[in-house]
Amino acid sequence: MNELCALSKGKCKPCEGGVPPLAEDEVARALGELPGWSRHEQVIRKTFRFKNYYETLAFVNATAWISHREDHHPDLVVGYNQCTVSYTTHAIGGLSMNDLICAAKVDALFSL
User: Average of pLDDT values for 93-106?
Assistant: 94
At residue 67, the pLDDT reads 92
Look up the pTM and report it: 0.90
β-strands 43-49, 38-40: how paired? Answer: antiparallel
The string of pLDDT tens digits covering residues 58-93 is 999 999 999 999 999 999 999 999 999 999 999 899
Residue 14 lies in a domain: no
Q: With DSSP H G I counted as helix, E B as strand and the rest as coil, what are the percentages for the chain, rounded to 5?
A: 45, 20, 35
Tens of pLDDT, residue by residue over 29-46, are 999 989 999 999 999 999
User: Is residue 12 helix, strand or coil?
Assistant: coil
**What is the number of domains present in the chain?**
1
Under a CB-based contact definition with an 8 Å cutoff, are residues 48 and 83 in contact?
A: yes
What pLDDT sits at residue 19? 83
Domain range for 37: 20-111
State whether the Cα torsion 64-65-68-72 is positive or negative. Answer: negative
**2 has a pLDDT exceeding 60:** no
CATH number at residue 37: 3.30.1360.20
